[in-house]
Amino acid sequence: MAGFILKRLLQAIFVVLAVTLIVSFAVRLSGDPAIMLMGGGGNVTEEDLQNIRQALGLERPFFVQYFSFLQGIFVGDFGRSFMGGTPVSTLIAQALPSTLLLAFTSLLVSIALSVPLGVYAAVNRGRWPDQLIRILSLVGLSFPNFWLAIMMVLLFSIVLGILPPSGMEGPESFIMPALTMAIILTATNVRLVRTSMLETLSQQYIMVARSKGLADRVVLYKHALRNSAIPLVTYIGLQFGGLIGGIVIVERVFNWPGMGTLAFDAISGRDYPVLQGTITVLALFIVLINLLVDIAYGLIDPRIRTE
Amino acid sequence: MRLSRTLKALGLTVATALAPLMASGAQAAGTMTVAVAIDPGSWDPIDTFLVDWSSAANNIYDGLTARGADMKLKPGLATSWEFLDNNSRIRFKLRENVKFHNGEPFNAQAVKFTFDRLLGAEGKKGPQQSNYNTIDHVEVVDDHTVDFVMKQPDPVLLTKLAGYGAMIVPPKYIQEKGDDHFNTHPVGTGPFKFVEYNPKVSLTLEANPEHWGGAPKLDKVVTRFISEANTQVAELQAGRIDVATLIPFGLAPTVEKSPNLDLISITGPTVVSLRLNTKEGITKDQNVRKALIMGIDRDAIIKAVLLGHAKPIASFQSELSFGHDPNLKPLPFDLAKAKQMLQQAKVPAGAPVKIDFRGNDATFREVAQAAAGFLQALGLKPSLQPYEPPVLLNDIIPNGKTGEAWHQAWGGWTFDYDNTAYLMYHTGEKWNPYDNDPKLNEMLEKQRTIYDVKERENLLQEIARYVADKALEIPLYNQNTIYGVNKRVKNFDAPADRRFRFTETSVD
């Protein structure tokens, strides 16, 4: 098990390094932050721009900038925002918990919805509840998340006036963003649980369990669900990456003070340090989750550890 | 039966759980909430050029001069000023008995400190210094008198002292607490003082009852940062913000129709034109350029695409701008005449006209499409080329790689034609890749040395006429500044430049 974890860990470090390099390079192709900072300002000369570039450390060669960024990462220093000079680590420390809280809430809601629905659909295979769940999941899959978000705001905030349209103020502000993310996740997860359950339910050991006279519920939840969980855990782990991607849009619509909003603003303002910092931290998280999935895999199915 | 009972129970549970939230839409009495798009990250006047900074910070700080919603210049922290030594020295008499929010006295030292900082090493790192480098230095005459010693004449200086980098900051506070602390805990002399800053979320200010301009009627002003226009409008409709500053034309009717909201649409600083390539293509010919102007129905574009929230222009400036000439009218729309002029200039049918524009500007994309439609009707072959803004602004335009026409959009808070004219038409300027007109250069340089208001205005108007006659661009429109405001807000004096001052404003 230790060797297995070590191997995965080394792979993870390599991936994160590659991400930092690509991000630092790509962000510098996107335009000159000195000009963005000057914006519509009056009488800007090339000399003024040069002064700003120098103050921001942008006149140094790319690899010098990249290595000072890398050096900083190891001590948790991502530099300072070009806009206002706040340390990037401070901004991330404020934004990351909001995003993770939203991501995990969405994931939990989605699991809480998709597991019972998926099992129910599998048990009633071919009958109307199964059909209905499948149609609903198709509908859920077809919604773009920003559209769903705007429709929810329209219904709950403007027509009914019961939920705040944006911001992160109390538990009530989680309802719409988490639901937006969860509906889209659930749409795929329900299908996954259903298929996986159907496959397991047709196994001989389930027949054996049934013929032993075990109660339906025990067979379903103890024998079938645990064995169906492997693809589900993998999938949910992988989903986390997509979830973070989707969260950028959902955060923007709901003005959620998280990593997505931070990254989005950084892109529009060519705020290199903030963009590098947020993407590196998000990449770290995705890699970490994948690592945990691999390990969880080994825990659920002992055969994988020994491979 | 069982299902319906379950559903009913579920519905009841949800309703009970959400009931306490119903009240959350209501705003506290005496508190007004304004939404702006971007958090500037620092509240130090020398760190930013963002209009959103000014929307909030114009309430925290004062300048030596001030400009209200009517865009007229008036005394601020200086009560009077006079020009000395052949205009190379400007003497300001300062307001007495003014204190910063931390209790520090406002005096000549504070003015000197502010400008030493702006013009020195600290200011060099930020975008504001370049707006003020016509000032050589500031001298203290006595405790309530300062002299601005000029490096070169700057007729726009008095306006520029009313905002942004020229806002007066407290010397002791900054020296003791440091720049980083000042960035996030601003102190000024303005009508509202800093309470709390929550990055990317909000800035809270409270009334400064001792302000020299009188105590504000509001207790608190909260500025929230919401970068998505739909979200600002939703918050406005839900009654959780009082003023929305980000309202695209498409959403204006939504605000207009809401019974509890007002849509305010007033002349703003931003002007939009299609600059023409005078070096290559059919636009090399002055008469062809005039034909293109006459061939595009700008009024129709304003009505259909901008839903009326703009005005036609004859020169590249707003009608609020110093140098605007109400007697200068744009060339009229006349398709037949335009066709005839193209024929006379021997422009072949199907000659290409490529329009380069900022691809992220959805409104302008529609404007460009409409313009292309008119060009097609002239028998030309228009094409649209969207660019990433930095590519267009840093490469295509300055390096002269444009098509026959390109998108220019500009808005300066000073409302002085110099702001656009010099950068757009003087030889060697970034936004002027093709034209080299000694006569125009001379006029542009000369107006920068004239302090006589009437004389300078005449010259600026002459420049506008000259540029219009040369048909260097297709002047399109002056975009309105649009606000969505809750009806509970009273005395909201809407400023064209979005630099709010909430002294007289109140909420029900």
Task: Quote the pLDDT of residue B12.
Answer: 45
Nearest to A110 by CA among A23, A187, A205: A187
Instruction: Tally Cβ neighbours within 10 Å of residue A161.
Output: 17
B53, B201, B255: best mutation site toward chain A, by most A Cβ within 10 Å? B201
Contact A31 B231 (CB under 8 A): no
* B390 contacts on A by Cβ (under 8 Å): 30-32, 35-36, 270
What distance in Å separates residue A70's CA from the closest CA in chain B? 24
Task: Quote the pLDDT of residue B11.
Answer: 47
User: Does A150 contact B at CB distance below 8 Å?
Assistant: yes
Six token digits for residue A250: 């959902």
**pLDDT at residue B177 is higher than 80:** yes
* A35 contacts on B by Cβ (under 8 Å): 390, 393-394
Over residues B372-401, the mean pLDDT reads 90
| Percent of chain A residues topping a pLDDT of 70 | 94
Task: Quote the pLDDT of residue A39.
Answer: 60
Instruction: Spell out the residues 6+ positions from residue A287 whose beta carbon is closer than 8 angstroms to its own.
Output: A12, A15, A16
* B201 contacts on A by Cβ (under 8 Å): 167-168, 257
Task: Quote the pLDDT of residue B24.
Answer: 43
Task: Quote the pLDDT of residue A239.
Answer: 78
Over residues B61-77, the mean pLDDT reads 94
- Chain A residue with CA closest to B47: the answer is A84
What distance in Å separates residue A128's CA from the closest CA in chain B? 15
**pLDDT at residue B7 is higher than 70:** no
What are B28-48's pLDDT values in tens digits? 679 999 999 989 989 999 988
Largest CA distance in chain B: 95
CB B63 within 8 A of CB B161: yes
Of A41, A52, A94, the CB nearest to B131: A41
3-state secondary structure B89-130: EEEEEECCCCECCCCCECCHHHHHHHHHHHHCHHHHCCCCHH
Contact A153 B131 (CB under 8 A): no
Task: Quote the pLDDT of residue B27.
Answer: 62
* A37 contacts on B by Cβ (under 8 Å): 48-49, 126-127
Task: Quote the pLDDT of residue A84.
Answer: 82
Six token digits for residue A22: 């690509």
* A269 contacts on B by Cβ (under 8 Å): 38
Query: Please, which pLDDT band fits residue A209 given cuts at 50, 70 and 90?
Result: confident
Contact A255 B412 (CB under 8 A): no
Is the model more confident about A158 or about B108?
B108
Q: Are strands B381-387 and B352-358 parallel, antiparallel or unpaired?
A: parallel
What are A221-234's pLDDT values in tens digits? 777 887 777 777 77
Query: Please, which pLDDT band fits residue B25 given cuts at 50, 70 and 90?
Result: very low
Of B130, B228, B230, the CB nearest to A43: B130
* A88 contacts on B by Cβ (under 8 Å): none
Contact A83 B48 (CB under 8 A): yes
Separation between Cα atoms, residue A49 and residue A40, nearest integer Å: 13
* A94 contacts on B by Cβ (under 8 Å): 199-200
What distance in Å separates residue A209's CA from the closest CA in chain B? 31
Task: Quote the pLDDT of residue A44.
Answer: 63
Contact A163 B18 (CB under 8 A): yes
Q: Is A253 left (phi over 0), alpha (psi -120 to 50) or beta?
A: alpha
Contact B41 A45 (CB under 8 A): no
Instruction: Spell out the residues 6+ positions from residue B13 whose beta carbon is closer than 8 angstroms to its own.
Output: none
- Chain A residue with CA closest to B238: the answer is A158
The pLDDT mean for chain A works out to 84
Query: Which of A146-160, A286-300, B491-505 shows the lowest per-residue confidence on average (mean pLDDT)?
Result: A286-300
Task: Quote the pLDDT of residue B102.
Answer: 96
Nearest to B458 by CA among B299, B316, B344, B323: B323
What distance in Å separates residue B387's CA from the closest CA in chain A? 12
In what helix (H) or strand (E) does residue A133 lie, and over which residues does it extend? helix A128-142
Is the model more confident about A306 or about B432?
B432
Instruction: Tally Cβ neighbours within 10 Å of residue B234.
Output: 27
Instruction: Tally Cβ neighbours within 10 Å of residue B12.
Output: 10
Contact B201 A45 (CB under 8 A): no
- Chain B residue with CA closest to A34: the answer is B127
Six token digits for residue B399: 């390096």
User: Does A80 contact B at CB distance below 8 Å?
Assistant: no
How many Cβ contacts (< 8 angstroms) between chains A and B?
Answer: 154
The pLDDT mean for chain B works out to 91
Return the SS3 of A176.
helix
What distance in Å separates residue B38's CA from the closest CA in chain A? 8
Radius of gyration of chain A (CA): 24
User: Does A129 contact B at CB distance below 8 Å?
Assistant: no
Phi, psi of B90 (to 5 degrees): -120, 125
Contact B235 A165 (CB under 8 A): yes
Six token digits for residue B180: 């980083």
- Chain B residue with CA closest to A87: the answer is B180
Separation between Cα atoms, residue A202 and residue A207, nearest integer Å: 8
Contact A252 B240 (CB under 8 A): no
User: Does A49 contact B at CB distance below 8 Å?
Assistant: no
Task: Quote the pLDDT of residue A305.
Answer: 61
Architecture of domain A88-305: Orthogonal Bundle (1.10)
